[in-house]
A and B are shown apart, each in its own frame.
Chain A
Amino acid sequence: MAHVTMLVLNANAWTGDEDAQLVGGDAAAIPVRHVGRMAWAFDDTDEAAIVSVEAPMPGSFAAGTLKATIHWAAAGDNTNDVRWDVYVEAKTPNTDTLDMEAATSWDTLNSASDSAGGSTVGDPLSVDVTLTNKDSVVASDLVRFGIRRDTDYAAGDNDDIVGDVFIYAVEIWEDT
């Protein structure tokens, strides 16, 4: 098994989901700075989301198991859990039909919970989200990603972190 990095999406490779295109009614996450670090802040009540820049899927992608590692931290909780939903939208140029100015074609969400338990408040944490629903992305597709905090997820490891959580960077990688 190898961890092959495909794309690194730093905080400023994202924008807030102003159009609520992942889930209707979502708010746009808010950009913040922490001692020079850029991050996106996700509220614990309003469900907020971010969407990434478009990028060509690297030619080395073998269409295997794709994962997203979300690098995050909690503002004031080191006990409870956060629930992340990750979306993929892939377009094959010269083949797919999609009005790039007006339409979206996100695949079904991929989700994972992660706990801040056992950490100190503000510690850097990460969680891997397996992108089972990766919109059939293949090498050289134009691809982008969306992430939202599912604050009303109430099954199992429900989202119960109190206060903001922050995303600092996301790594898209193939688990070969």
Chain B
Amino acid sequence: MALLFDDTGTDQWLAITPGSMAITAVPFTISAWVFGDEVFQDGTIWWLGDKDVADNFFRGRLTGSAANPPARATASTAAGDSPTTSGNGTIVDVWSHVCWRFTATNNRQALVDGDLGNESSGGAVRVPAGSDTIAIGRANDSTPDDYFSGRIAEVAMWNAILTDDQAVALSTGFTPLLIKPGALQHYWPLGGIFGEHARDIITGDTMTTNGTPTFVDHPGNLIYPADAIETPIVPAVVAGIVVLRRRREAA
């Protein structure tokens, strides 16, 4: 079950201000599955910054420059926003995967559905400081806005840059626990096999839910890590009859 943020009524978003931020500066990677439900939508998918000021943050959002909104990777300081915009758009009313790679203070990339040829790059030098909050579904600075309309799922953050192959693998359905798990700092499935909650699978912390976003269908065809399957067969003799008992069925 993904989380549906419906901006037609009460504003809805998630946010957390951890005691200690695992990610405050480049390089980092963030990915999410996104199902926007408005054409030409402007809306923030994730926001990482200083909640108490107007302009110190990193952000991944959709931009309403096209009916099927492209994705943007933005870094903002008092010098202004510096976004880069993907060459291809997410598809309205369809699940799209977006991977944002902030590789340097002057390079931020937005990759939609693994289309490397249309990935954005570049941007002006920006060094946001004082990040203390992570939000999903809106820009969470001192004047919150840019609310997202639609579904969001599988939000994950790494304190490293994923390779092209790894970023593309996410877009084909591999879930974050299978991709560079040693650098995975946050993972909010927001439904699916992990259940209907806003808990971070990595840290155990739960985001505060604001408004009443609802759980809806999760992206399909995702691949999660599996256990080893133990299937030994143990022979036993009962009253002279050899009985083969399967000790434990595959999960």
Contact = CB atoms under 8 A, between A and B. Distances in A.
Interface string B208-240: 000000000000000111111111111000000
A31 B169 contact: yes
B229 A10 contact: yes
Contact of A8 (B166, B183, B231): B231
Interface in B63-116: none
A57 B227 CA distance: 13
Per DSSP, are chain A's interface residues mostly helix, strand or loop, or mixed?
Answer: strand
Contacts of B234: 60
A30 B166 contact: yes
B65 to A, nearest CB: 31
Contact of A58 (B183, B223, B226, B232): B232
A63 interface: no
A60 B234 CA distance: 7
Contact of B233 (A4, A12, A19): A4
Contacts of A4: 232-233
A12 B223 CA distance: 7
A10 B230 CA distance: 11
Given A4-B233, A30-B165, A30-B166, A55 B181 contact: no
A16 B182 CA distance: 10
Interface centre among A6, A19, A30, A55 (most CB of B within 10 A): A30
A109 interface: no
A7 B251 CA distance: 12
22 contacts: A5-B231, A6-B232, A7-B230, A8-B228, A8-B230, A8-B231, A10-B226, A13-B229, A18-B181, A30-B169, A31-B169, A31-B223, A33-B174, A38-B174, A52-B228, A53-B226, A53-B228, A56-B230, A58-B230, A58-B232, A60-B234, A60-B247
Interface of B: 165-166, 169, 172-174, 177-183, 223-234, 247, 250
Interface of A: 4-10, 12-13, 15-16, 18-19, 28, 30-33, 38, 52-53, 55-56, 58-61
